[in-house]
Amino acid sequence: MNAATGLTARPAWRALQQHFTTLRATHLRDLFAADPRRGERFTAEGAGWYLDYSKNRIDQETRRLLVALARECGVEERREAMWRGERINVTEHRPVLHVALRAPRAAKIVVDGTDVVAEVHAVLERMGAFAERVRGGAWTGHTGRRIRNVVNIGIGGSDLGPQMAYEALRRYSARELRFRFVSNVDGTDFCEAVQDLDPAETLFVVCSKTFTTLETLANARAARTWLLAALGDTDAVRRHFVAVSTNASEVAKFGIDPDNMFGFWDWVGGRYSLDSAIGLSTMLAVGPEPFREFLAGFHAMDEHFRSAPFERNLPVLLALLTVWYVNFFDATSIAILPYDQYLQRFPAYLQQLTMESNGKQVTRDGARVGYATGPVYFGEPGTNGQHSFYQLLHQGTSLVPCDFIGFCRSLNPLGDQHDLLMANLFAQSEALAFGKTESEVRAEGVPERLVPHRCFDGNRPSNVLLADALTPQTLGALVALYEHSVFVQGCIWDVNSFDQWGVELGKQLAARIAPELTTTAPLAHDSSTNALIARYRRRRLPAGTLATQ
């Protein structure tokens, strides 16, 4: 089978195309009217999460065909190949084993003759011991003062996950410790993060899988300079810097004591590394035991993904629905709408997970795909988003499937505010699905000229994900849910969800341009880039000068 046409030639795909021609005109109002129990029938549960996917433009036949497509695309085989540690990241020739990071101690996953689960637990032990010392005050700074500030330096997968998890689990975190996250090579990020911190009480956690990332090394050097300017003694680095990396030699070259390094492995992708030692800042915030619960939540979803039949399998269902909208309804974006302020960084985190994984134009074999792949993910916590971009979700010309995420119990009960929050979640999903017809608008006495403006077509799909409360466990399960959903999508689109070559070109060009900015050497780019660099050269300030001076 030709790889580029492989997917679209599959029997289930062909059947879905046929089925789509009949279902596309069906309104969610009709689907609900035809089956009074639809809201209970199209639901699934696993690892503490309840998924209501009844407000999707599907019927039982759609689900049957989508599940058949997953089978034809070998989702089961590829899932097991991942668990077996096969090198399913074909372009980097690596296993993909984030599931080993949360496997219980008794589990065994062997890669190249080594039981990686045992290694994972050895690192977890070291992280736990270190976290206890910092949190308990036994680990002090160079001058003997207690650590009160933790600054995570990292970017991409070494920043988005830890920052999201820190924010999400804030309710469980040690409030006497302050956490900051520095990622951007823009000096503003570092300067603002440390401007009110005392170097003698500050611990830097430098997170970089490769320890060669330009932004992270620039910020780590800035941190060292800032620390030494205050403490004066290079020995201080030992007490104020720890590293999380797979690259011990680069860590040592930077001057961080290898004893203060927490390792992980090349079979952990950056955007899948939150539950490795990259989560050290999260563990410092919440403590080792809640971190283990967090891992247990991931593992519970792993087990669900591995054992639940596809028809009741949360990651499989979420993935198939995305494929349905992207490939049949031509949807180009998905909104992630968490109704919980603690999940404010969750959409940003998911953006990387989904778009870096499945934003691909060739199949695993390198043939051009003949169909759409990963959509744009975006989102904001509700209810804030309601007062901004939801207008387009309700009345715009694009179809934007939405994932609503909420909790039955608030971690901060404040009067009736949680009920108000959840009422909004339920109402949004209802409004998107059922809309408001012309006759309903007229019946409200709306003047005729305003009727078109006040109508809502409805028929806009959404999922609702509910858990009892935001805990380390439910957060872990939620992350794993999306990780596996991305995996299933990748299997169907036949792309490698675990590489990210797309970020390379810009990096290479920036490395070429950086030295050109500070010379007067002739430029050999296109006329636009040449003119931009020339203007910048004329107007830039010498390093170290303030724009306001």
Task: Closer to ligand G6Q by CB, 209 or 304: give it.
Answer: 209
Using CB atoms within 10 Å of the CB of residue 73, give its burial: 0 to 12 exposed, 13 to 18 middle, 19+ buried. Answer: buried
DSSP state of 371: S
Phi-psi region for residue 379, left (φ > 0), alpha (ψ -120 to 50) or beta? left
Nearest CA among 327, 304, 322, 353 for reference residue 498? 353
Residue selected from 46, 85, 270, 288 as contacting ligand G6Q according to rule CB under 6 A: 270
Stretch that binds ligand G6Q, among 55-63, 81-89, 265-273, 308-316 (CB under 6 A): 265-273
Task: Closer to ligand G6Q by CB, 155 or 277: give it.
Answer: 155
Number of alpha carbons in the 13 Å side-chain half-sphere of residue 150:
29
Residue selected from 155, 222, 284, 402 as contacting ligand G6Q according to rule CB under 6 A: 155
- The residue from 167, 356, 483, 516 that is catalytic is 356
DSSP state of 457: -
Task: Closer to ligand G6Q by CB, 155 or 467: give it.
Answer: 155
- CA-CA distance, 510 to 513, in Å (whole number)? 5
- CA-CA distance, 300 to 285, in Å (whole number)? 23
Residue selected from 98, 239, 271, 360 as contacting ligand G6Q according to rule CB under 6 A: 271
Contact of 127 with 246, CB cutoff 8 Å:
no
Q: Does 152 bind ligand G6Q (CB under 6 A)?
A: no
* Contacts of 412 by beta carbon, 8 Å cutoff, 6+ apart: 171
Q: Does 263 bind ligand G6Q (CB under 6 A)?
A: no
To the query of whether residue 436 is one of the catalytic residues in this protein, the response is: no
- CA-CA distance, 467 to 168, in Å (whole number)? 14
Residue selected from 6, 157, 379, 458 as contacting ligand G6Q according to rule CB under 6 A: 157
Nearest CA among 115, 207, 121 for reference residue 165? 207
The interface with ligand G6Q within residues 21-50 (CB under 6 A) comprises none
- The residue from 80, 125, 253, 507 that is catalytic is 507
Q: Does 490 bind ligand G6Q (CB under 6 A)?
A: no
The interface with ligand G6Q within residues 221-250 (CB under 6 A) comprises none
To the query of whether residue 55 is one of the catalytic residues in this protein, the response is: no
Task: With both helix axes pointing from N to C terminus, report the angle between 160-168 and 346-358 in degrees, rounded to the nearest 10.
Answer: 150
Secondary structure string (H, E, C) spanning 92-145: CCECCCHHHHHCCCCCCCEECCEEHHHHHHHHHHHHHHHHHHHHHCCCECCCCC
To the query of whether residue 387 is one of the catalytic residues in this protein, the response is: yes
Stretch that binds ligand G6Q, among 151-159, 248-256, 331-339, 524-532 (CB under 6 A): 151-159
Judged by CB under 6 A, the number of residues near ligand G6Q is 14
Q: Which residue is nearest to ligand G6Q (CB)?
A: 156
Please name the residue that has the structure tokens 């050999």: 524
Phi-psi region for residue 74, left (φ > 0), alpha (ψ -120 to 50) or beta? left
The interface with ligand G6Q within residues 353-372 (CB under 6 A) comprises 356
The interface with ligand G6Q within residues 74-113 (CB under 6 A) comprises none
- CA-CA distance, 378 to 359, in Å (whole number)? 14
Tokens of 342: 């603690």
Strand duo 49-52 + 462-467: pairing: antiparallel
The interface with ligand G6Q within residues 207-226 (CB under 6 A) comprises 208-210, 213, 216
Stretch that binds ligand G6Q, among 129-137, 194-202, 205-213, 403-411 (CB under 6 A): 205-213
Site string for ligand G6Q, 160-199 (x = CB under 6 A): ----------------------------------------
Task: Closer to ligand G6Q by CB, 94 or 102: give it.
Answer: 94
Residue selected from 89, 158, 282, 496 as contacting ligand G6Q according to rule CB under 6 A: 158
Stretch that binds ligand G6Q, among 155-163, 185-193, 336-344, 532-540 (CB under 6 A): 155-163
* Contacts of 241 by beta carbon, 8 Å cutoff, 6+ apart: 203, 204, 206, 220, 223, 224, 227, 255, 256, 260
Q: How far is the CB of 507 from ligand G6Q (least distance, A)?
A: 9
- CA-CA distance, 335 to 376, in Å (whole number)? 8
- CA-CA distance, 331 to 451, in Å (whole number)? 27
Site string for ligand G6Q, 497-536 (x = CB under 6 A): ---x------------------------------------
Stretch that binds ligand G6Q, among 69-77, 94-102, 156-164, 184-192 (CB under 6 A): 156-164
Q: How far is the CB of 484 from ligand G6Q (least distance, A)?
A: 16
Q: How far is the CB of 247 from ligand G6Q (least distance, A)?
A: 8
Please give the residue ranges that form the binding site for ligand G6Q (CB under 6 A): 155-158, 208-210, 213, 216, 269-271, 356, 500
Q: Which residues are catalytic?
A: 356, 387, 507
